[in-house]
Chains A and B, each alone.
Chain A
Amino acid sequence: MSDITRDDVAHLARLARLAVSDAELDMFSAQIDAIVDTVSKVGEIPDDVPPTAQVVPQTNVVRPDTVEPSLPRDVVLAAAPAAEEGRFRVPRILGEGA
């Protein structure tokens, strides 16, 4: 198999900000291990093949530096879980994330 362990999945869940339960960890680690094992078939491809990240056949697409209307603040904040003084209110922030 692909050697994805339960601890690996717990780490991935933390990186991805998913507070997964113990039961989910069991389920996901088995499934993800099997899936990663299957998709690892791409490892057969020689290293000298160049990568393709995009299939867009164009380059240098830019827009003019011209101001366009912004959204009304009230509309945006009305969709927010919480707002205060024209700002989005969020729970306390603890330093920089990883």
Chain B
Amino acid sequence: MSWDTQRSGAGPVDSELVSLDAAELARRIHAREVSSVEVTRAHLERIEAVDGPAESGVHAFLHLDADGALAAAGAADRAIADGGPVSPLAGVPIALKDNLTTTDMPTTCASRILEGWRPPYDATVVTRLRAAGLVPLGKTNLDEFAMGSSTENSAFGPSRNPWDLTRIPGGSGGGSSSAVAAGESPLALGSDTGGSIRQPGAVTGTVGVKPTYGTVSRYGLVAFSSSLDQIGPCARSVLDAALLHEVIGGKDANDQTSVSAPLPPVVEAAQAGARGDLAGVRVGVVSEFSGEGYHSGVLAAFTDAVRVLGELGADVVEVSCPSFAYALPAYYLIAPSEASSNLARFDAMRYGLRVGDDGEHAADEVMSLTREAGFGAEVKRRIMIGTHALSAGSYDALYGKAQKARTLIVRDFTAAFETCDVLVSPTTPTTAFAIGERSDDPLAMYLADLCTIPSNLAGNAALSVPCGRSADDGLPVGLQVMAPALADDRAYRVAAAYEAATAGSAAGPRIPELRALETSR
């Protein structure tokens, strides 16, 4: 049996279901052309077909809850049959990054230290998904505690890029992006601290959005770097991302950094953008995001995308943000500093792994033995860097200066947004690299987030939308669109216009066939 033959001709309906956008799935479910249970079952079958084995499959999921998903789908179908008002995405399946707390599934952050931990509470975004009738399928893979750009730092093995299973799907949210790219789920949630939604979106040919900091509650997101983390949607289309954004966004009393301002009208913006008119929109090309380290195929795709934006009526200008040179250094000080504190709670006392409790070792020693055994190398490295950056002797020169860098980056954005409505860049300098290629060189790995980090430091909105394939290797490239804080709708409008203009060409097929994997099983 192969997936391909099953899908060809007048095959079963589920082969089509797994390639549809969430908006189209929702339309069919709400029109009762298909049931949520059928849609959910189709995705569970697709997962069954392509996700395993962990050593060679897509390996997007760390935990699957088929029974829970089918129960939730059944409930959505009943609600729709009852004829009452339902949310625009009711009945549509979704995958959750495994650093979001869920009461009905474990939350591991892809770490041994939390293996098997079942939280006693749902993250706010999960509560909102459930209330809106979405159907959680399972928990997706990530770099341990979201620290990485490839999922290779997962304690449970990497996820693989559906476009080429020898390559990384990006990170940290490679599980979510590869699940969406592989047809395992039409939607997913990720978290973006330095690019963990956008960079995986770029390298898997999917849409990934980092909303404005504070517009989506972080309550229940296991913190990596609290002042940078933001939950956001992963989807196959800009409109799908906007629909999901509206479900999860908005003020939450459980997160005092969540803002009171109304959520920007992202769905409206995506719909308006899809009509293809960008007349009068001022688009700034950030000149710092090119040059050494950027693949020519990526730059060519980006240049072509900018040309398309111009054809759609946008006024394209070049802008300079010189302080972005400090973004990567500042990020690799601030994020590890906050992480060193956030991850201190994993100490074997109240939950999670405990190692060395033999009656001889004191509490302090058990903490050290557990953390040594439970954390992977990248997590330990960042904890120690953060501990160093915050130490009395280094604070002013490292953490303190990183905060000053943040000020300069905010100023650069402010100045650029005085002359531009949005800024654009490649999402990441290269296409998906090979698994293992950078795993021994942390600094090389960190470069993957070069273009995405500034928006985390400044807290503004940014997204990645597919922008064709690189001529070098045929792999997907992402276009990053950045907008001012609380103006997420601008990024959606521009991305939707670009998406509509290039439909069927630049973005290419949204779901790779995975034939190679199918026939090898």
Contacts and interface: CB of A to CB of B under 8 A. Distances in A.
- Do A and B actually bind? yes
A51 B400 contact: yes
Interface string A71-98: 1000110011110000010111110010
A91 B368 CA distance: 13
B347 A17 contact: yes
A4 B401 CA distance: 18
B406 A17 contact: no
Interface string B393-414: 0000110111111111010000
Contacts of A71: 120-121
Nearest to B256: A61
Contacts of A92: 362-363
Contact of B364 (A20, A35, A94): A94
B380 A45 contact: no
A63 to B, nearest CB: 7
B387 interface: yes
Interface of A: 4, 8-9, 12-21, 24, 27-28, 31-32, 34-36, 38-47, 49-58, 61-63, 71, 75-76, 79-82, 88, 90-94, 97
A1 B458 CA distance: 29
B333 A39 contact: yes
B380 A20 contact: yes
B381 interface: yes
B459 interface: yes
A49 B408 contact: yes
Contacts of A82: 354, 357
B329 interface: yes
Given A55-B485, A75-B120, A82-B357, A91 B366 contact: yes
B118 interface: yes
A52 B388 contact: no
Nearest to B378: A31
Contact of B227 (A43, A54, A62): A54
Contacts of A75: 120
Interface stretch (B134-142, B160-168, B369-377, B506-514): B369-377
Which among B117, B121, B401, B485 has the highest number of chain A CB atoms within 10 Å? Answer: B401
Nearest to A56: B257
B349 interface: yes
B120 A76 contact: yes
Contacts of A80: 350-351
B442 interface: yes
A66 B502 CA distance: 54
